[in-house]
Amino acid sequence: MAFRWKNDLRDRDVTDQALWMNRRQIMGGLAGMGLAGAATGARAETPEPNTWEDITSYNNFYEFGTGKSDPLNNAGAMTIEPWSVRIDGLVDRPGDYAFDRIMEEMTIEERLYRFRCVEAWSMVVPWNGFELADLLELAGVQSGAKYVAFETYLNRDEMPGVRFPVLDWPYVEGLRLDEALHPLTIMATGIYGRDIPKQNGAPLRLVVPWKYGFKSIKSVVRITLTDTQPPTSWNKANAREYGFYSNVNPNVDHPRWSQASERRIGGGLFASREPTLMFNGYEDEVASLYAGMDLQENF
């Protein structure tokens, strides 16, 4: 039976596809896309639609360069067919799982989620994907596993950004096992009913809606079950600013800016900021995962 949660989001809250692709710009709207209402909810006017060129021209995927147009210009070279995910470590059935096989085995559904960036902007995105727990069940999680580690595709011939030590490549992330098995945690294969573009993490990416966006690792090629906490890229780069958990928390500021409020993409350059919700609005569903933890220390 499909997981049920107290989802207070509706179609009118969906961030426009143009705004998702160009989430650092104030652009585009829902008109002509079959999505009703404003991207920012009832408090904002419906933005105007943008061109396809706008939609795909501004994005972050550092493996393709740090410039905002670099992913568009360079991600086309990335090979995504054939694609497989290596699942190893503390599992009963380790191996390379072909993407086609994964898609045949998994139940794909739409999940309408809030998305909150550590940079204090936010949106609402309709993902298509499947619960990560189902994929882990396919591999068979062993009793000694406590964490799940993820790794992004790396090809120096196809990814000019990795020639520079912006991060320690390949990009890696991790979750506690109970976080990974939570029904809200999904592996996304699409956005707005379309395949995820390469510059946005094709063909398979993690989505953990109560955590900051950088935890939702793109273009996953390896999943490892382990009994020790795995390293994560931004934590390795700057542990003071980026903790392992990285839960959305308005009470714990980034060292360089407040996390108490956020700018909703689509609200215009002069839109007022909105209060940030604890766990990005999913407190009822996930707070029990952190019962008794000091969330100031375990940020």
> Is the torsion defined by CA of 122, 125, 299, 119 positive or negative?
negative
Q: Which amino acid, 218?
A: K
Q: Tell me: the pLDDT tens digits for 108-151?
A: 998 888 889 898 888 787 889 999 999 999 999 999 999 999 99
Residue list, annotated binding site: 59, 62-63, 117, 152, 200, 205, 216-218
Q: Domain 81-290 falls in which CATH fold?
A: Sulfite Oxidase; Chain A, domain 2 (3.90.420)
**Token pair listed for 90:** 């503390």
Residue list, annotated binding site for Mo-molybdopterin: 59, 62-63, 117, 152, 200, 205, 216-218
CA dist 93 to 85, 88, 283, Å? 13, 8, 34
Domains in the chain: boundaries: 81-290
pTM here is 0.83
Sequential pLDDT tens for the chain (299 residues): 455 656 665 555 555 555 545 544 433 333 222 333 323 333 333 225 222 232 233 467 889 887 767 877 899 999 999 999 999 999 999 999 999 999 999 999 988 888 898 988 887 878 899 999 999 999 999 999 999 999 999 999 999 999 999 999 999 999 999 999 999 999 999 887 889 889 889 999 999 999 999 999 999 999 999 999 999 999 999 999 999 999 999 999 999 999 999 987 776 666 679 999 999 999 999 999 999 999 999 99
d(CA 214, CA 263): 17
